[in-house]
A and B are shown apart, each in its own frame.
Chain A
Amino acid sequence: MSGATTIRPELTQAALEAAPPGRLKDDPILITFGMLKTFGGIRAVDIDHLEIERGTITAIIGPNGAGKTTLFNLLTGFDRPDRGSWRLDGRLLGGLPPHRIARLGMVRTFQLTKSLSRLTVLENMAVAAQTQRGERLERALLRWLWQPEEARVRERAQALLERFGLAHMAGDQAGTLSGGQRKLLEMARALMADPTLVMLDEPTAGVNPALTESLLEHIRDLNAEGVTIVFVEHNMDVVMDISDWVVVMAQGRILTEGPPQEVVANEEVIDAYLGRPRDTADGEEEGDA
């Protein structure tokens, strides 16, 4: 277990051995310890220990107010925890501003889609590039310094738009896109930033079934290319369909975690989040009668 403590210096040997089954991952890309965030008297997020396995698709589920989005905000630097530490690829992220965390490879999307309305679809993509040094003010006027890179950025953006079926709208202002197309654009834009870990906050919320299918296909493709994916989702069909691992949160804490089939059968999860299927309830009624 010595390897286990080197990547988790915060944990004692005893704590490691006491970890619940499934908590320790073989090759975790993200490790979180003692993350606490309170709003007034409410413990919005109170997580002792959470690990995300590299290269997997992890779903975070739980009732409204369970702290899923707050956890996203904390991990990506958009909000500060009261205490806690977390590492991306071994690197401590506590105290880093959100743009630094994004540059380290953890890129998020938002529950309410944030398209840059009055920029074109192509500009929405190009702004996510991490390689354009012309974004620095002192080089902005020296066109020859950024022009070659700009051509590469546009080419990459165009290829990604092609893949997400948005290429025909590249020149349109993003504000003219439909809700579903904006979800696609936001995902494509996150990819443009070359992430190693993508955090998707309700990627299929408000998206029609056909487009949901295509979004999921993109998530799978992305994952197949080696990008680790964490997503918050309420649609259990989606969760069962694409996730390798499910983390269930309730009242800021981790209720349980495990492979999807195991989690949906868990009594606690059913009570806290999933509810009982109608026929079981009927059965109880019959029993009472």
Chain B
Amino acid sequence: MDFDIIFGNAARAGLGPQAAIFALAAIGLNLHFGYAGLLNFGQVGFMMLGAYGTAIVVATWGGSLWLGIPFGLGLCVAFALALGIPTLRLRSDYFAITTIAAAEILRLLIRSSPATDITGGPFGLQAIANSFFDLNFLPDGRFGWGTFSYSSNQLWVMIVAWILVVLCSALVLALIRSPWGRVVRAIREDEDAVLSLGKNTVAYKLQALVIGGVIGGLAGVIDALQQSGVGSENFEPQVTFFAWAALILGGLATTVGPVVGAVLFWFLREGVESFIRELSEQGWLPNALADFLDGAEGAISIVLMGIGLVALMALRPQGIFGRRRSLHLGT
């Protein structure tokens, strides 16, 4: 049993670019749901627009990456407005249904054959991040110990991604502590009450949706950069729910919750997967079970994570950093 390998793999995933990407997505969701009370089940749609917007400018139109990124984020703003303007006047459940459908429609459009000339359809787009890696000032080679190590370019993506995580966390914290954030949190509690006090609640909800969506779009941009490409299979609905899992694990309406939740999510997911693989390789499992698990370690890991989340909801529904007291006051 090589715990170095298990722990190395887990730590590598917990600190790697994937964790940072999900942390960003979860920070956006936290602004949406944790603070503004907007049930957004289509966060992956924002990530997809950030990633594809960037990639299309670079790979399809031959433009600069530094134009592509703002273009991708601009698409996120447009998506938020298109989603929000018709539905934010309605009850929150209509909004939730619309978000999940809109994100999936977007993915199917992107991978459809008529869109192939622009989006690459099922093949996606490649070689988009050269000018990003040109900025990498780190020396070549690997950094780290054993399985817990990253290539120079991976480390470069991680540095940029985690800086963005810190900046976005600080941005959301500053917004939420401002009078604007007070109105947004008040809307989460009771929209009619806030309307009766003279606040244009639809405008606030729309603003929160745009900002959280753009942060989700940044997650997509980082994803496109770290793979130097985009593919529609990376933006299936489960991505949204992994981000939700990270957010709930860490704790809603807290600053560090979404970040620690994302780190823990990837740490556990990879750790459990490695652990099962090690068990099989060491022959510690009955043959029948080992055969059954062979190649399905990732799936089993997700199943165990799901069971773990259920247990968390039962024992500590406020997440790791949430305040239990607040939960009981929920309206």
Contacts and interface: CB of A to CB of B under 8 A. Distances in A.
Tell whether A pairs with B. yes
Interface of A: 76, 78, 97-100, 102-103, 107-110, 114-119, 123-124, 126-128, 130, 132, 134-137, 139-141, 143, 146, 150, 173, 175-176, 189-190, 193
A110 B192 contact: yes
Contacts of A150: 179
A135 B179 contact: yes
A218 to B, nearest CB: 18
B138 interface: no
Interface stretch (B124-132, B199-207, B227-235, B303-311): B199-207
Interface in B163-217: 171, 174-175, 178-183, 185-186, 188-190, 192-201, 207
Contacts of A134: 178-180
A189 B197 CA distance: 8
Contacts of B328: 175
B326 interface: yes
Contact of B190 (A103, A116, A130, A146): A116
A110 B196 contact: yes
B326 A78 contact: no
Which DSSP category, helix, strand, loop or mixed, fits chain B's interface?
helix
B135 interface: no
A116 B189 contact: yes
B172 to A, nearest CB: 11
B179 to A, nearest CB: 4
Contacts of A173: 325-326, 329
Contact of A117 (B192, B196, B330): B330
Given A99-B201, A146-B179, A118 B192 contact: no
B197 A107 contact: yes
B328 to A, nearest CB: 8
Contacts of A143: 178
B180 A137 contact: yes
30 contacts: A78-B192, A78-B196, A99-B197, A102-B195, A103-B198, A107-B197, A114-B193, A115-B193, A116-B185, A116-B186, A116-B193, A117-B189, A119-B182, A119-B186, A119-B189, A124-B186, A126-B179, A127-B194, A127-B197, A128-B198, A135-B180, A136-B180, A139-B180, A140-B179, A140-B180, A141-B178, A173-B325, A176-B329, A190-B196, A193-B198
B330 to A, nearest CB: 7
Nearest to B179: A134
Contacts of B194: 116, 127
Contacts of A107: 196-198
A257 to B, nearest CB: 26
B331 interface: yes
A24 B193 CA distance: 32
A109 B195 CA distance: 11
Contacts of B180: 134-137, 139-140
From A76, A100, A136, A176, name the one whose CB has the most chain B CB atoms within 10 angstroms: A136
Nearest to A175: B329
Contacts of B186: 116, 119, 123-124, 127
Contacts of B190: 114-116
A193 B183 CA distance: 14
Contacts of A190: 196-197
From A100, A107, A117, name the one whose CB has the most chain B CB atoms within 10 angstroms: A117
Contacts of B188: 118
A118 B195 contact: no
Interface in B297-331: 325-326, 328-331
Contact of B197 (A100, A117, A128, A175): A128
A66 to B, nearest CB: 22
A132 B186 CA distance: 15
Contacts of A76: 196
Given A118-B326, A128-B198, 6 more contacts: A107-B198, A116-B193, A127-B197, A135-B199, A141-B174, A193-B198
B198 A117 contact: no
A81 B183 CA distance: 28
Contacts of A140: 174-175, 178-181
A134 B175 CA distance: 10
A118 B189 contact: yes
A158 to B, nearest CB: 16
Nearest to B199: A99
A146 B198 contact: no
Contacts of B331: 117, 175
B174 to A, nearest CB: 6
Contact of A97 (B179, B192, B200): B200
A109 B189 contact: no
From A102, A107, A143, name the one whose CB has the most chain B CB atoms within 10 angstroms: A102
B193 A110 contact: yes
A103 B198 CA distance: 5
Contacts of A135: 179-180, 182-183, 199
